[in-house]
Structure 1
Amino acid sequence: MKKIKAIILLLFVVATFSVNATNVNVDALPDSIQYSVDLDAIEIISNPKTNTPVITFPGSVSVLNAQMLEQTNTVSIKDISSYVPNLYIPDYGTKLISAIYIRGIGSRINSPAVGLYVDDVPYIDKSSFDFDFNDISKVEVFRGPQGTLFGRNTMAGLINLYTVSPFQEEGLKVKLGVANYDTYNAAFNFRKKISDKFALSLSANYNTRDGYYTNQFTGKSCGDEEVAGANLKLQFRPTSSLDITLSSIYEYSNQDGYAYQMYDKSTQEVSPINYNDYAGYKRNMSVNSLKIAYTHEKFLMNSVTSYQFLTDDMNLDQDFTPIRDFTLQQMQKQNSITQEIVFRSPKTIKGWDWLAGVYGYYSHIRTKGPVTFYDEGLQYMVETPFNTMYSQIASRPGFRGPKDLSLQLDKTTPLCVDGLYKTPSWGVAGYTQATYNNLFTEGLSLTVGLRLEYEKTKLNHITNSLRNMTGAIVGSMQIPQMPFPIPINEAIDVPLSVQGNESMDALELLPRFEIEYKVNSSLYTYVSAARGYRSGGYNFQAFSNIIRNKMIIGAVGNYASMMPPAMTAETDVNSMISYAPEHSWNYEAGIHYDLADKRVAFDLALFFIDCKDQQISVVEGFGRVTKNSGRTHSTGVEAALRYSPIKPLQFSASYGYTHAVFRENYDGERSYKGNYVPFAPAHTLAVDATYTLDVNKKCLDAIEFNLGMTGQGRIYWTEANDVWQNFYGLLNSSITLRKGMASVSLWGKNLTATNYHTFYFETLNAKNVMSQSSFVERGRPITFGADVVVRF
Structure 2
Amino acid sequence: MRKIIRGPLPAPLPLACLTFTIAPLMMAATPARANDPAPSAVPAASAAASAADTAAEEQDSPTSVGTGAHDRGNEIFVTARRRQESSQEVPLAISVVGGEHIDSTGSFNVGRLQQLTPTLQFYSSNPRNTAVNIRGLGVPFGLTNDGIEQGVGIYVDDVYNSRVASATFDFLDVAQIEVLRGPQGTLYGKNTTAGAINITTNQPTFDFEGKAEVSIGNYNFKQAKAAISGPLTDRLAARLAISSTSRKGTIYNVVTGEHIQGQDNLGLRGQLLWKPTDNLDITLAGDFSAQDANCCGSVYVRTGLTQRALNRQFEALAAAQGYAPPSRNAFDRLTDLDTDLRAKNKIGGASLRVKWDLGEGSLTSISAWRFWDWDPSNDRDFTGLPIVALSQNPSQQDQYTQELRYNYSSDKIDFVVGAFGFYQRIDTQGTEAHGAASSRWNINPGSDTVVPPGSSGCGPTAAQQLACNPATLNGLTAYNTQYLKNTSAALFGQLSWHITPELTIQPGVRLNYDKKEGYYLRQVFDSAGNPVLTTGPASAIKTAQLAIFTPQEISPEFSDWNFSYDFTASYKVAPDVLVYATYAKSFKSGGINQNGVPTDTQNNPILAAATVKPEDVDHYELGIKSQFWDRRATLNLSIFRTDIKNYQANVNNGQFGVLRGYLANAGAVRSQGVEADFSVRPSERFNLYANGAYTDATYRRFSDAPCPPELSGGTTVTGTQTPGAAGVPNSLSPANCNISGQRLPGVSKWSFSFGAEVNNPATLFGKEGEVYFGYDGSYRSNFSSNPSPSAYTWVDGYSLSNFRLGFRAESGFDIYGWVRNAFDQNYFDQLFVGPGNTGLIAGLPGDPRTWGLTVRYGF
TM-score, structure 2 normalization: 0.78
1:388 maps to a residue whose letter is: G
Deviates more, 1:111-120 or 1:149-158: 149-158
The 8 Å contact of residues 252 and 260 in structure 2, kept in 1 or not, is answered as yes
- Residues 143-162 of structure 1 mapped to structure 2, 5 A cutoff: 143-150=181-188, 152=190, 154-162=192-200
- Residues 403-552 of structure 1 mapped to structure 2, 5 A cutoff: 408=466, 410-411=471-472, 414-438=475-499, 441-466=500-525, 467-468=529-530, 497-542=551-596
Deviates more, 1:174-183 or 1:611-620: 611-620
Match of 2:799 in 1: 729
Indicate which of 2, 16, 30 corresponds to 2:59: 30
Indicate which of 754, 759, 764 corresponds to 1:687: 754
Q: 1:650 to 1:297 in 2, by over 3 A?
A: same
Distance 2:508 2:797 in 1: 39
Q: 1:390 to 1:534 in 2, by over 3 A?
A: farther
Match of 1:313 in 2: 375
Q: How far off is 1:583 after superposition?
A: 2.5
Determine if the alignment matches structure 1 residue 369 to structure 2 residue 430: yes
1:373 maps to a residue whose letter is: H
Distance 1:285 1:365 in 2: 13
Residues 575-633 of structure 1, C-alpha deviations (whole Å, 9 max, x = no match): 45543332321100001113472411221000011112223334213424443322112
Q: Where is the strand percentage greater, Structure 1 or Structure 2?
A: 1
Determine if the alignment matches structure 1 residue 355 to structure 2 residue 416: yes
SS at match of 2:556: strand
Q: How far off is 1:203 after superposition?
A: 0.9
Match of 1:556 in 2: none
Determine if the alignment matches structure 1 residue 190 to structure 2 residue 228: yes
2:346 maps to a residue whose letter is: N
Match of 2:639 in 1: 606
The 8 Å contact of residues 189 and 403 in structure 2, kept in 1 or not, is answered as no
2:343 maps to a residue whose letter is: Y
SS at match of 2:150: coil
SS at match of 1:687: strand
SS at match of 2:630: helix
Q: 1:701 to 1:717 in 2, by over 3 A?
A: same
Match of 1:388 in 2: 446
Match of 1:395 in 2: none
The 8 Å contact of residues 80 and 178 in structure 2, kept in 1 or not, is answered as no
- Residues 664-679 of structure 1 mapped to structure 2, 5 A cutoff: 664-666=701-703, 667=705, 668-679=735-746
The 8 Å contact of residues 45 and 53 in structure 1, kept in 2 or not, is answered as yes
Q: 1:681 to 1:752 in 2, by over 3 A?
A: same
Residues 274-302 of structure 1, C-alpha deviations (whole Å, 9 max, x = no match): 22111221011112110011111353111
The 8 Å contact of residues 434 and 474 in structure 2, kept in 1 or not, is answered as no
Distance 2:58 2:504 in 1: 39
The 8 Å contact of residues 39 and 600 in structure 1, kept in 2 or not, is answered as no
1:707 maps to a residue whose letter is: Y
1:680 maps to a residue whose letter is: V
Determine if the alignment matches structure 1 residue 635 to structure 2 residue 644: no
Q: How far off is 1:310 after superposition?
A: 1.3
Distance 2:614 2:797 in 1: 32
Q: 1:282 to 1:756 in 2, by over 3 A?
A: same
Structural RMSD (CA): 2.9
Distance 1:506 1:222 in 2: 44
Distance 1:593 1:168 in 2: 37
- Matched pairs, number: 709
The 8 Å contact of residues 37 and 650 in structure 1, kept in 2 or not, is answered as no
Match of 1:706 in 2: 774
- Residues 95-174 of structure 1 mapped to structure 2, 5 A cutoff: 95-107=127-139, 108=141, 109-110=144-145, 111-150=149-188, 152=190, 154-167=192-205, 170-174=208-212
How many percent identity over aligned positions?
Answer: 22
SS at match of 1:69: helix
Match of 1:22 in 2: none
The 8 Å contact of residues 472 and 541 in structure 2, kept in 1 or not, is answered as no
Match of 2:286 in 1: 248
Match of 2:109 in 1: 76
Distance 1:627 1:489 in 2: 33
Q: 1:49 to 1:695 in 2, by over 3 A?
A: same
Unpaired segments of 5 or more residues in structure 1? Answer: 1-24, 392-401, 472-487, 550-565
Distance 1:413 1:600 in 2: 66
Match of 1:481 in 2: none
Residues 287-323 of structure 1, C-alpha deviations (whole Å, 9 max, x = no match): 2110011111353111111000111111111101111
Match of 1:653 in 2: 690
Residues 2-31 of structure 1, C-alpha deviations (whole Å, 9 max, x = no match): xxxxxxxxxxxxxxxxxxxxxxx9983622
- Residues 325-344 of structure 1 mapped to structure 2, 5 A cutoff: 325-326=387-388, 327-344=390-407
The 8 Å contact of residues 370 and 400 in structure 2, kept in 1 or not, is answered as yes
Distance 2:540 2:200 in 1: 66
SS at match of 1:145: coil
Distance 1:578 1:214 in 2: 41
Match of 1:13 in 2: none
Q: How far off is 1:785 after superposition?
A: 0.9
Deviates more, 1:638-647 or 1:26-35: 26-35
Q: 1:285 to 1:364 in 2, by over 3 A?
A: same
Distance 2:165 2:621 in 1: 31
Q: How far off is 1:462 after superposition?
A: 2.0
Distance 1:733 1:273 in 2: 30
Q: How far off is 1:206 after superposition?
A: 1.4
SS at match of 1:207: strand
Q: 1:732 to 1:155 in 2, by over 3 A?
A: same
Q: How far off is 1:137 after superposition?
A: 0.8
SS at match of 1:149: coil
The 8 Å contact of residues 145 and 157 in structure 1, kept in 2 or not, is answered as yes
Unpaired segments of 5 or more residues in structure 2? Answer: 1-53, 306-326, 450-459, 706-734
Q: 1:443 to 1:162 in 2, by over 3 A?
A: same
- Residues 691-770 of structure 1 mapped to structure 2, 5 A cutoff: 691-696=758-763, 698-718=766-786, 719-722=788-791, 723-739=793-809, 740-764=811-835, 769=836
The 8 Å contact of residues 425 and 458 in structure 1, kept in 2 or not, is answered as yes
The 8 Å contact of residues 201 and 233 in structure 1, kept in 2 or not, is answered as yes
The 8 Å contact of residues 536 and 578 in structure 1, kept in 2 or not, is answered as yes
Match of 1:474 in 2: none
Q: How far off is 1:168 after superposition?
A: 7.1
TM-score, structure 1 normalization: 0.84
The 8 Å contact of residues 392 and 430 in structure 2, kept in 1 or not, is answered as yes
Determine if the alignment matches structure 1 residue 89 to structure 2 residue 122: yes
